[in-house]
Structure 1
């Protein structure tokens, strides 16, 4: 990692004390999510505060890191690696000190310090992001490690926020719900891998699924991939009932949206997966959100 370049205004162990700056940072994080993911932005609206703001802050950092390895900056690999190192340094520094001049990392740090997100979740995330800059394919071990760092730890970060909510006193423990949170994050990631088979290969030279020839995908291989996704979704669903009401509706909605994506992926001919990014129509997503809200998050 590069020598530290960022020095925060608040010494280690201190706390940011400017409520206006905090609010601006949190609104900036919300704008990142709204701009990049309408589905996620819609589901976030079903979260109660302060969980809604906290989850937006988590995903904003994830989105910025992802942009570094997938966006225009990734064309210059060494420069992108330097930027990713700097973002990780800023993030860890902000979590220690409570302040950052980067609005997204400041918002993330507010959440991390409030709900208990530490380096044990942050470091694996950045390690997986770094993998995207140097790896174009995976064996099963590296695939599992990548999915853990890029997605499962994000589910665990969100779980920290869910269980810090005012209504979480009677919820099961973090350890009890962690397998479900990891499975949901893994399912989301694998769905996106399958949706983006063509774009990942053509634009980024990447193929995530071990041993898969994207141009020779068979119905049996497609079904095996979707079966694995559905197994993750089933494990996640069993944990959703234990979440506090403040987060249960939103997680139920997100789960249902990705279950609908999985269903559509299974129905698509293998050759079409190479050329088509499967989506859930806006009307269907709206119906899922209404059902999830009305049911109070019952799965």
Structure 2
């Protein structure tokens, strides 16, 4: 880890900006992050906000993809500069760079993210291989980044934990593909489901996609118990919230998923968080079967 940043006051302000973005864009993830250890929370928020800004560029600038490509290319360059120098005038980039410097987050994890953002501007129909690369860059590396910040650092080199972090990131992304299928296909013109027509989903499609999410959640769940302290509770809560959403997408079936109305109600989210905080989190015990333990 690097010494504390000499720009401490600006770094605190930058972290506050990242926290606003986290709470504005992801209710479920923000709720789970409240359970993180206080020392971990700002770093996870910084990672989330940095990734959210990149995603916003490619989703919000589809009417001018050339400008979006320029913005993503510049974001990549300035992120690397900020990590090298320890300072950037943009608060979100600065907060992320501070976290990256502290916990050894470098090009191996940063560049695949930007590769995936560029793919969103170029690829409308994924193959199995291009989707694998996309999920790695857009979600799996984010899971690894977050893992590096847990328990004061030092967990990122544990291969089992890293595999679990990648699996959890993958599960989150695949759940989002199902939840947002209407927006992705009708508004953004993207298909993240190789070999399937997102405008004509079948019951079998939904069941198979939900099964795929459950498989990732099982892999992730194996390693969660090895995360120390409050950070383990927060990751378990995030796991359980997305497992709950996946269950609801499965039950909603093709019609419900295609309508784009599947969500986890607020009171249910709070109940899920309460179970995780009390140590009675869920594990995926069998295909499509979530149990409390």
Same fold (TM over 0.5): yes
Q: Report if aligned partners of 2:240, 2:282 keep a CA contact under 8 Å in 1.
A: no
Residue 246 of structure 1 and its aligned partner are, at CA, apart by 3.0
Corresponding residue for 2:279? 295
Task: Tell me the secondary structure at the aligned position of residue 62 of structure 2.
Answer: helix
Residue 47 of structure 1 and its aligned partner are, at CA, apart by 0.3
Superposed CA deviations along residues 12-64 of structure 1, whole A, max 9, x for unmatched, are x9984121111101111111111111111111110002110100000000110
Q: Distance in 2 between matches of 1:74 and 1:83?
A: 12
Superposed CA deviations along residues 59-117 of structure 1, whole A, max 9, x for unmatched, are 0001100100111x232000011111111111111111111011001000111111110
Q: Distance in 2 between matches of 1:277 and 1:141?
A: 30
Structure 2: tracts of 5 or more residues without a match = 284-293
Corresponding residue for 1:270? 254
Q: Following TM superposition, where does structure 1 have runs of at least 4 consecutive aligned residues deviating by more than 6 angstroms?
A: none
CA 1:159/1:172 → structure 2, altered by over 3 Å: closer, same or farther? Answer: closer
| Residue among 50, 71, 81 paired with 1:83 | 71
Q: Report if aligned partners of 2:148, 2:156 keep a CA contact under 8 Å in 1.
A: no
CA 1:213/1:77 → structure 2, altered by over 3 Å: closer, same or farther? Answer: same
Corresponding residue for 1:17? 6
Superposed CA deviations along residues 216-272 of structure 1, whole A, max 9, x for unmatched, are 222112111111100000110001011111311110111000000110111113122
Q: Distance in 1 between matches of 2:3 and 2:210?
A: 47
Q: Distance in 2 between matches of 1:124 and 1:24?
A: 28
Task: Tell me the secondary structure at the aligned position of residue 35 of structure 2.
Answer: coil
Q: Distance in 1 between matches of 2:24 and 2:198?
A: 30
Corresponding residue for 2:133? 145
Task: Tell me the secondary structure at the aligned position of residue 57 of structure 2.
Answer: helix
1:132 equivalent to 2:120? Answer yes
Q: Distance in 2 between matches of 1:220 and 1:18?
A: 54
Corresponding residue for 2:103? 115
CA 1:98/1:267 → structure 2, altered by over 3 Å: closer, same or farther? Answer: same
Residue 274 of structure 1 and its aligned partner are, at CA, apart by 1.3
CA 1:292/1:14 → structure 2, altered by over 3 Å: closer, same or farther? Answer: closer
1:179 equivalent to 2:163? Answer yes
Superposed CA deviations along residues 169-210 of structure 1, whole A, max 9, x for unmatched, are xx7952121111110000000000011111101100001010
Corresponding residue for 1:32? 21
Residue 279 of structure 1 and its aligned partner are, at CA, apart by 0.7
Q: Distance in 2 between matches of 1:203 and 1:233?
A: 29
Q: Report if aligned partners of 1:15, 1:99 keep a CA contact under 8 Å in 2.
A: no
| Residue among 23, 37, 40 paired with 1:48 | 37
Q: Report if aligned partners of 1:249, 1:292 keep a CA contact under 8 Å in 2.
A: yes
Q: Report if aligned partners of 2:161, 2:223 keep a CA contact under 8 Å in 1.
A: yes
1:158 equivalent to 2:113? Answer no
Q: Report if aligned partners of 2:40, 2:151 keep a CA contact under 8 Å in 1.
A: no
